[in-house]
Structure formats: structure tokens, C-alpha cells
């Protein structure tokens, strides 16, 4: 069944019109998107820069509210939830980013412990959880290092461990491998696949790189000018003519 559903979702942003007309116009960053993301799958959202991928992701985790339509996460319509309720929904969604977004002043352990502290985990439970997460992503030996001492691939593993800390059902990866070389990219993609298989996490991969999708995604959603122009199993979308 669907863990995330979008029904006729549009997001408009006001943009300043030309000086002459003084009109405020709007850009449809996301334009009438209807979409189901099936639980336990790896889904790729692909499209060129400006296609609306980031806006779509921000709609999924409640960082933006739709101008039109509804966004359902685990059956709940989050389109008009109050901010406090949205925070709870967001807590069930892990995010990883192109630039890793790690805290420079904290060690690897400190970075992974951070979301657990915020969630109010008791102190004596935090350390074993952090150790388990670092072990899972394969950087237990870097627990005491600072992020700047790590390679890009290692930093992204820390980002992934942090995203998994509160055992989210959904992991959103926004251009998570765009800053990595091809070999490191493959390692990180394999890790995402393993997270999906072993933890059952639904993984949503946002990327402008088609090869990323071809490597790990069960299904693919192609966006262009805010619209979904193609969606289906990866093999059918990329099938040779
Ligand atoms: P990407 O191409 O990786 O999606 P962008 O540079 O397009 O990144 O966007 C980065 C951030 O800036 C996003 O949060 C996006 O919503 C915002 N953004 C993009 N275009 C505009 C714009 N024209 N005006 C204001 N904010 C924008
Ligand atoms: P992508 O992630 O595929 O690069 P975005 O979702 O960042 O695409 O942007 C889609 C379109 O919406 C672009 O034309 C972008 O400039 C515009 N846009 C995104 N965020 C904003 C914003 N906060 N304000 C104005 N325009 C925006």
C-alpha cells in the first residue's frame, strides 16, 4: 500500500513581474501532481534542475504546504496540519543531503547522537544506539573523529546514520551522491539499498543523475516543469525502444 500519496498537488511561488507591468506573477514549481509511493520500495524522482524535485520533497516532509491538492503521509493528510503536528510527521522521515549538513563542532558520534537528544532519549540509551548505527553504516572506527577529517563518502555515511537514528519509515535522499565520485556513489547507493532491504525503509532518491536511479530504484518518477511526465517500474521507463 502507499506510504505517501499526492492528490492533485500544486505549489505556486509568487515571483516579481517586470518593472514595467509591476505585476506579481507565479511560478508553478509543482503542477498538479498525483502520485503514490508504495511502502517498502526504492523510488527515484528524476528531472533536470528546476523541474520541481526539491519542492516536491519539501511538500512530502511538510516544509512547504501545497497551494492546491493534498499530501498524505501514512494515511494522514498533512496539507493543513498545525506546525506542532507536522513536526511529529517529520520526525518519522529521515533526510540526507548533497552537502551532508553535519555539525562541524561535533564528532561523528556527537552528530549521530544529536537527533536522539532532541527526541529526548535517555542518556544511557544514546551511546549504544549511536554505536549500533555507526556499525551499520560501516564507520564505527571514526566515532571520535570530526567531520572535516573524513572523506565525502564517510561524511555521507554519518549523515545516513544520523537520518536513521530515530528509525524513520521513510528516508529522503536529496541529491545525496551528487558531491561524490563514482565509486563512492556506488557504495552509498548500495548502503541505501541495504537500508531498504534490511530495515524495510521506504527510500525516496531525488537526483538529476539517471544512472543513480537505474542502479537502485524499483520505480521512477520523471519530472519536467513541475509535472510528472513519466512514472513506472525502472525497467519500463528506461527500456530501450
Ligand atoms: P536544486 O537545483 O539543488 O534543487 P536550487 O538552487 O534550485 O537547488 O534551490 C535551492 C533552494 O532555493 C531550494 O530550497 C529552492 O526552493 C530555493 N529556490 C529555488 N529557486 C528559487 C527562486 N527563484 N526564488 C527563491 N528561492 C528559490
Ligand atoms: P529542482 O529541485 O528540480 O531543481 P525546484 O523545486 O528547486 O527544482 O524548483 C522548481 C521551480 O520553482 C524553479 O523554477 C525554481 O526557480 C522555482 N522555485 C523553487 N523554490 C522557489 C521559491 N521559494 N520561490 C520562488 N521560486 C521557487
Is the ipTM higher than 0.90? The answer is: no
Most ligand 2 atoms within 8 A of CB, residue of 11, 25, 29, 223 to mutate: 29
Cell of 213: 536511479
Residue ID of nearest Cα to ligand 2 atom 22:
13
Q: How far is the CA of 56 from the centre of ligand 1 (A)?
A: 12
Q: What is the pLDDT of residues 33-74, one digit of tens each?
A: 999 999 999 999 999 999 999 999 999 999 999 999 999 999
Residue ID of nearest Cα to ligand 1 atom 2:
49
The whole-angstrom distance between residue 79's C-alpha and the CA centroid of its chain comes to 18
Euclidean distance between CA atoms 226 and 58, whole angstroms: 13
CA quadruple 30, 174, 211, 37: dihedral sign: negative
Q: Residue 211 — very low, low, confident or very high, per pLDDT cuts 50/70/90?
A: confident
pLDDT for the residue 22 = 67
Cell of 124: 544511557
Euclidean distance between CA atoms 29 and 189, whole angstroms: 28
pLDDT for the residue 149 = 96
Q: How far is the CA of 129 from the centre of ligand 1 (A)?
A: 35
Q: What is the pLDDT of residues 91-104, one digit of tens each?
A: 899 999 998 999 99
Ligand 1 — pocket residues by CB below 6 A?
49, 54-55, 175
Task: State the DSSP string of 99-164.
Answer: T----TTS-HHHHHHHHHHHTT--HHHHHHHHHHHHHHHT-GGGTTS-GGGS-HHHHHHHHHHHHH
pLDDT for the residue 210 = 87
What is residue 33's DSSP assignment?
Answer: E
Tell me the angle at which helices 108-118 and 152-164 cross, rounded to the nearest 10 degrees.
20
Euclidean distance between CA atoms 102 and 108, whole angstroms: 9
Rounded to two decimals, the pTM is: 0.88
Q: What is the pLDDT of residues 182-208, one digit of tens each?
A: 999 999 999 999 999 999 999 999 998
Cell of 190: 548500495
- In this predicted structure, the answer to whether residue 240 has a pLDDT above a threshold of 70 is no
Query: Of 171, 179, 228, 234, which is closest to residue 47 (Cα–Cα)?
Result: 228
Q: What is the pLDDT of residues 115-157, one digit of tens each?
A: 999 999 999 999 999 999 999 999 999 999 999 999 999 999 9
Most ligand 1 atoms within 8 A of CB, residue of 45, 52, 54 to mutate: 54
Give yes or no for a contact between 31 and 39, defined as CB atoms under 8 angstroms apart.
no
Amino acid at each position: 500500500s502507499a506510504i505517501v500519496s499526492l492528490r492533485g498537488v500544486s505549489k505556486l511561488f509568487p515571483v516579481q513581474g517586470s518593472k514595467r507591468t509591476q505585476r506579481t506573477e507565479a511560478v508553478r514549481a509543482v503542477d498538479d501532481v498525483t502520485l503514490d509511493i508504495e511502502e517498502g520500495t526504492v523510488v527515484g524522482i528524476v528531472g533536470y534542475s528546476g523541474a520541481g524535485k526539491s519542492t516536491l520533497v519539501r511538500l512530502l516532509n511538510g516544509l512547504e504546504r501545497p497551494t492546491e491538492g493534498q499530501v498524505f503521509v501514512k494515511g494522514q493528510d498533512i496539507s493543513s496540519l498545525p506546525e506542532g503536528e507536522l513536526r511529529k510527521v517529520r520526525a518519522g522521515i529521515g533526510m540526507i543531503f548533497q552537502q551532508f549538513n553535519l555539525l562541524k563542532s561535533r564528532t561523528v558520534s556527537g552528530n549521530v547522537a544529536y537527533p536522539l537528544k532532541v527526541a529526548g532519549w535517555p542518556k544511557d540509551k544514546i551511546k549504544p544506539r549511536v554505536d549500533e548505527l555507526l556499525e551499520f553504516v560501516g564507520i564505527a572506527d571514526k566515532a571520535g573523529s570530526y567531520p572535516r577529517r573524513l572523506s565525502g563518502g564517510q561524511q555521507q555515511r554519518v549523515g545516513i546514520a544520523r537520518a536513521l537514528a530515530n528509525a524513520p519509515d521513510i528516508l529522503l535522499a536529496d541529491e545525496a551522491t551528487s558531491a561524490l565520485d563514482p565509486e563512492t556513489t556506488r557504495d552509498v547507493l548500495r548502503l541505501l539499498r541495504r537500508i531498504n532491504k534490511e530495515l524495510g525503509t521506504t527510500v525516496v532518491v531525488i537526483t538529476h543523475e539517471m544512472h543513480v536511479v537505474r542502479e537502485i530504484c524499483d520505480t521512477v518518477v520523471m519530472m519536467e516543469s513541475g509535472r510528472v511526465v513519466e512514472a513506472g517500474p525502472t525497467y519500463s521507463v528506461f527500456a530501450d525502444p
